[in-house]
Amino acid sequence: MKENKLIDWPTFIGALSLLLLVAVPLVLFPDQGETIVLAANSFITEKFGSLYLVLGFSVLIFLIYIAFSRFGTIKLGDTQVKPEFSTITWAAMLFCAGIGSSILYWGAIEWAYYYTSPPFGVEPKSKEAIQWAATYGIFHWGPIAWAIYCLPALPISYFYYVKKKPVLKISEACRPVIGKLTDGPIGKIIDVLFMFGLLGGAGTTLALGAPLIASGIQDLTGINPSMTLNTVILLICTLIFAMSAYSGLRKGIKVLSDINLWLASFFLIFVFAVGPTVFLAETTLNSVGFMLDHFFRMATWTEPFNDLGPFERTGFPESWTVFYWAWWLVYAPFVGLFVTKISRGRTIREMILGTLIYGTIGCLLFFGILGNFGLYLELTGQYSVTEVLNQQGAPAAIMGILSQLPLSKLIVAIFTVLAIIFLATTFDSSSYILASVVQKEVVDEPIRWNRLFWAFSLSILPLTLMYIGGLSTLQTASIVGGFPLIAITVLLSISFIKSVREHFIEEKRKDRIKEKKVS
């Protein structure tokens, strides 16, 4: 078949084998599997935790430098081209591309984990713990996180618009550094590792999202959550996406994303208006200041010593900051490909500052409104979120928070629909990218069976992870998947710097020739 010739089989088989190599033993030997997964988690986070922190922090500094240097003035597209989308639409699309159902989950509940197990040796549930609880989430979904998202967009968009070379593969964006190796095994390994990372990151997302939806369904219908229900939910989300992809209705997903944006905005405005508005506004603003005050401290906290005794650790930085940076990292090249597509006509500076600012503000709204509402319930004693969290788990606690709102059934329904659409769009965008990477060439869209294949493959890891269970297990998928991405991110940065330097040398040379001609 002609279609099959388009498939880049070594990458296809490489990524699939790696996926099965991880998933199959875990299903066959779940008990040993759990031990191995947790060992892998602590090995990477304890031995290399600092590396993730250094990377996150450096990426932010690097981006700010690029934005304000002459490189920031490079325009993505020809000089006369105007930005394709208005800034608001651009910001909304950017946010939707990078953020999925996880913000519903963590936005609502992250504070509760910090409140009961705070950082810096702070007394649990103390006044100080409240401050950190309301702040740390915003930090983990803040400027460093969005900087990690933005970095791959630099080389990719530069090649796409300025050099006019469409980049659909991450290996291609590394070409200025690795040269001809891009076309050999090294290039393929880069792509396979990127795919593996994305499968891991999506694994974490889907394994968190499915039980959340199950809990919403339980609230609405009384059906008890179970592994079967989780599996059905993942299948339904795949099917929603598959139907629109199969019928060629690209618009289907676009419509879903729009509905999501409206529903999410309505939801947040509703909670803000009928909830404790002043408390929400004050706590959010206060947390922004608190975060800025402690930004460097949080960005570099490795917990080398604390009150527990020498070499005793709470594991806070590993369980949270390192996990988060890894999780953003695995999605970053994929977001980079998307941001590139929507950024025609903008300058690199606009792209960087837009991502950092709008991304951070978007997350701030979710955490500030949804998270602080839960905190309010806890502090006033109206509803003990932490108790439910301890006894029944996070999804039940989240639904419990929502049930404290007026029209609670409607709100739970909206929330559950939001989570379902978010998951369906995660399947859509991730399978699009996975399928594109394993093709030699993409005409219009990746081949249909190829997309569907990756959409279904995306469920393999979350199903395995949910089967084993435990938050650390889910986190491990991103942490392990994200590890090779550290090196790839460094490669991408060097690649960008190298190309834009050459760009300016070339411009100067052209100017000199022009000057000579004039004189």
Kindly list the residues in this chain that would bind ligand NM2 in the complex (CB under 6 A): 98-103, 205, 327-328, 331
| Residue with Cβ nearer ligand NM2 (161 or 427) | 427
| Residue with Cβ nearer ligand NM2 (261 or 442) | 261
| Residue with Cβ nearer ligand NM2 (100 or 119) | 100
- Contact yes or no for 181/187 (Cβ under 8 A): yes
Q: How far, in Å, CA of 304 to CA of 3, rounded? A: 55
Output the smallest distance, CB 22 to ligand NM2, in A. Answer: 20
Output the smallest distance, CB 486 to ligand NM2, in A. Answer: 15
Distances from the Cα of 330 to the Cαs of 74, 223, 335, 489, in angstroms?
Answer: 27, 34, 10, 10
The phi, psi pair for 276, rounded to 5°, reads -75, 80
| Residue with Cβ nearer ligand NM2 (101 or 319) | 101
Q: Which residues contact 215 (CB under 8 A, 6 or more apart)?
A: 225, 395, 396, 398, 399
Output the smallest distance, CB 130 to ligand NM2, in A. Answer: 24
Output the smallest distance, CB 220 to ligand NM2, in A. Answer: 22
SS (H, E, C) 149-184: HHCCHHHHHHHHHHCCCCCCCHHHHCHHHHHHHHHC
Secondary structure (3-state) at 323: helix
Output the smallest distance, CB 450 to ligand NM2, in A. Answer: 22
CB atoms under 10 Å from CB of 260, counted, come to 20
- Contact yes or no for 153/340 (Cβ under 8 A): yes
Tokens of 365: 């709204």
| Residue with Cβ nearer ligand NM2 (110 or 219) | 110
- Contact yes or no for 468/30 (Cβ under 8 A): yes
Output the smallest distance, CB 444 to ligand NM2, in A. Answer: 26
Output the smallest distance, CB 379 to ligand NM2, in A. Answer: 26
- Contact yes or no for 126/386 (Cβ under 8 A): no
Q: How far, in Å, CA of 1 to CA of 4, rounded? A: 6
b/e map 410-443, b = 16+ CB within 10 Å = ebbbbbbbbbbbbbbbbbbbbbbbbbbbbbeebe
Output the smallest distance, CB 188 to ligand NM2, in A. Answer: 25
Output the smallest distance, CB 360 to ligand NM2, in A. Answer: 12
| Residue with Cβ nearer ligand NM2 (154 or 419) | 419
Q: How far, in Å, CA of 281 to CA of 376, rounded? A: 12
Output the smallest distance, CB 132 to ligand NM2, in A. Answer: 19
Q: Which residues contact 228 (CB under 8 A, 6 or more apart)?
A: none
Task: Give me the amino acid identity at 118.
Answer: P
Tokens of 90: 């651009």
| Residue with Cβ nearer ligand NM2 (103 or 130) | 103
| Residue with Cβ nearer ligand NM2 (230 or 347) | 230
Q: Which residues contact 142 (CB under 8 A, 6 or more apart)?
A: 291, 360, 363, 364
| Residue with Cβ nearer ligand NM2 (149 or 161) | 149
**Exposed/middle/buried for 389, CB within 10 Å: 0-12, 13-18, 19+?**
buried
Planar angle of CA 432, 164, 493, nearest 5 degrees? 75
| Residue with Cβ nearer ligand NM2 (464 or 499) | 464
CB atoms under 10 Å from CB of 291, counted, come to 21
Output the smallest distance, CB 269 to ligand NM2, in A. Answer: 21
| Residue with Cβ nearer ligand NM2 (33 or 209) | 209
- Contact yes or no for 210/102 (Cβ under 8 A): no
